[in-house]
Amino acid sequence: MAEVDDELGVVRLGDEAPDFEAETTHGRIRFHEWLGGSWAILFSHPRDFTPVCTTELGEVARLRPEFERRGVRVIGLSVDDVDSHRRWEADIADVAGAPMWFPMIADPDRHVSTLYGMIHPKELDSATVRSVFVIDPDRRVRLMITYPASVGRSFPEILRVLDALQRTARYPVSTPANWSPGERLILAPSVPTDQARAVVGSDATELRPYLRLVDDPGVATSEAQ
């Protein structure tokens, strides 16, 4: 029998993102209200004033136009309090050369971390590991990635999966291995080959009857939101 710890929360793909109230650097929020029907990314950091986290948050600060272009709201979390977050933010802005434009959740009682299963005690005592949750406009969890404390996240990969998720939410397609925006996509089995142009805007190239490729239709920002 697998070892399961109910105290540590379990969120699965397709679940409604759990709601919560929390203090943040932008004031108190109720998460579902804050989502407001947008795509969103929630990511956790082990602690304030830690080196890997400082580089990650600085990268998100610099990538503001990329998240905005995709209509994605961003919110971070660490287990320290708002005063500590504010002091740390000044450092991050200085190191990154870009202001912190998104809220950071303070989670000293581990309420949110526990709800989302961000605490992996065998990896890192009672602090949060590097979790990433992508949430769609219907508040469903569409992607989860978990990194250990020692490995900083790849933000090109996070932007790439946001692009992939927004394509697959809008069109009956999936993305092949190593897909990047502009490359061909896989047509869903539900679409007959001769309907491809009407449905995704390009003819399908049939490599196998079960593997048909179509051009990337892209996603306009208004469609992504």
Active site members: 53
Number of chain positions touching ligand BEZ (CB under 6 A): 8
The DSSP bridge partners found for residue 213 are 186, 205
Based on CB atoms, which residue is closest to ligand BEZ, 47 or 184?
47
The answer to whether the CB of 50 falls within 8 A of the CB of 76 is no
Minimum distance, C-beta of residue 46 to ligand BEZ, in the bound complex (Å): 4
Minimum distance, C-beta of residue 67 to ligand BEZ, in the bound complex (Å): 21
| Residue 149 within binding range of ligand BEZ, rule CB under 6 A | yes
Minimum distance, C-beta of residue 191 to ligand BEZ, in the bound complex (Å): 45
Based on CB atoms, which residue is closest to ligand BEZ, 125 or 138?
125
| Residue 159 within binding range of ligand BEZ, rule CB under 6 A | no
Minimum distance, C-beta of residue 51 to ligand BEZ, in the bound complex (Å): 4
Taking the alpha carbons of 55, 132, 173, 205 in that order, is the dihedral positive or negative? positive
Nearest alpha-carbon partner for 98 in 57, 68, 157: 57
Pair of tokens at residue 103: 């809220």
- What is the layout of strands, in order, in the sheet containing 27-30? 27-30, 21-24, 104-106, 72-78, 39-45, 130-135, 141-147
Residues 22-61 within binding reach of ligand BEZ (CB under 6 A):
46-47, 50-53
Based on CB atoms, which residue is closest to ligand BEZ, 53 or 224?
53
| Residue 122 within binding range of ligand BEZ, rule CB under 6 A | no
- What is the layout of strands, in order, in the sheet containing 173-174? 173-174, 185-187, 211-214, 205-208
Pair of tokens at residue 5: 């710890």
User: Which residues of the chain form contacts with ligand BEZ (CB under 6 A)?
Assistant: 46-47, 50-53, 149-150
